[in-house]
Amino acid sequence: MTKVTAQLNNLRIAPRKVRLVADRVRGVQVTEAIGMLDYDMRKTAQPMQKLLKSAVANAQNNFKLKESDLYIVDITVGEGPTLKRWRPRAYGRASQILKRTSRVSIILSEKEVVAKDGDVKNDKKDKKDVEKKVVKKTAKKTDDEATSVPKVATDKVKSK
């Protein structure tokens, strides 16, 4: 199983805001995630989409993988260096403002299928083998069970 990574350092958006977008695309197929990020109105969506496209380019050039076979295994959003700024306040005081930055790393992998016997198989190579192993079991009802009417308990009400 090949894992492809890409990293974005010092993104000038707070990690708390970046995690909202990262949670939406985690575990999703790459082509679907790019489409989701196209229509996301958050400021974070554009750098995340650029990072995702960079990871896909890494997969295609370095490992000869197809974009349609990739999905997002994990996205981690960590805290980057914090910029400290000062703001003037009342009575000649100053208060500190923390401008937070983020570090985002993404891991892509090929889609895999788990067979019934527990073996992990590559999706494009062994898909037909897995389909052959899956046996559909259908429960057959006997004639008595199919035609029988459920019994309803009826109690006679005693009148005075």
Domain boundaries, the chain: 3-133
The CA distances from residue 124 to 57, 67, 70, 130, 159, in Å, are 20, 13, 11, 11, 74
- The 10s digit of each residue's pLDDT in 92-119 is 999 999 999 999 999 999 987 555 666 6
Instruction: Answer yes or no: pTM beyond 0.75.
Output: no
Superfamily of structural domain 3-133: Ribosomal protein L22/L17 (3.90.470.10)
Helix (H, G, I), strand (E, B) or coil at 147: helix
For 34: left if phi > 0, alpha if psi spans -120 to 50, otherwise beta; the answer is alpha
Render pLDDT for 49-96 as a digit per residue (tens, 0 to 9).
999 999 999 999 999 999 999 999 999 999 999 999 999 999 999 999
- DSSP-based three-state secondary structure for 30: helix
